[in-house]
Chain A
């Protein structure tokens, strides 16, 4: 069965420091990868996605993620975080086996400290 593992449940980091949120998935078929962000008391919003093409994808607010097929990973990075990046981040995988289903990781809480 397909699964998504986010290795860190919480990541505290100081403002302007770099951060990496890790995501690994298990699937033997084609996958499509997403990162969503959830701010407190809100629904999830798409941050970035990998469907095909370049394995490095970027968001408009400075986040990037790289699809690594050999390591089955899709880690999220930002070179310099802001207080406003404090949120819950979810990695998600949509598996392309007729009857697409999206599986979410357990989430990583990014806490940016001043």
Chain B
């Protein structure tokens, strides 16, 4: 039973394309996150949703648009992909928005050529 799953695991695409990454959690959590991990392993929060409502929106280009159709899903759509978007994107979830343990998905490695 996978707690937090992401699809696809690998994504290779060309500059200028639009792509989506999907995330689902079966833990019954009410808060979900998107993180970006760069080539130096630095992990940075991008977005956070609580009960389908956006609560954290870091300084991310507006080419990135998250969508949460329900509490168990948080998708990330990226328009007009650029070389600098190449990274590993992690989805995570937690119960509540306070100081809570976060459960991470396996990551999606995005390579833009």
Residues of A within 8 A of B (CB): 32, 34, 36, 38, 41-46, 49, 51, 88, 90, 94, 96, 99-104, 106-107, 109
Contacts and interface: CB of A to CB of B under 8 A. Distances in A.
Interface of B: 4, 40-45, 48, 55-56, 90, 92, 97-107
A24 to B, nearest CB: 17
28 contacts: A32-B98, A36-B104, A38-B41, A41-B107, A42-B106, A43-B4, A43-B105, A43-B106, A43-B107, A44-B90, A44-B92, A44-B102, A44-B104, A45-B104, A46-B103, A88-B41, A90-B43, A94-B98, A94-B100, A96-B99, A100-B97, A100-B98, A100-B99, A103-B45, A104-B44, A107-B41, A107-B42, A109-B41
A17 B97 CA distance: 38
A90 B42 CA distance: 9
A106 B41 contact: yes
Given A42-B106, A104-B43, 10 more contacts: A32-B99, A43-B104, A44-B43, A44-B90, A45-B104, A88-B41, A96-B98, A99-B97, A100-B99, A101-B48
A107 to B, nearest CB: 5
Contacts of A101: 45, 48, 56
Nearest to A46: B101
Contacts of B40: 106
B61 to A, nearest CB: 19
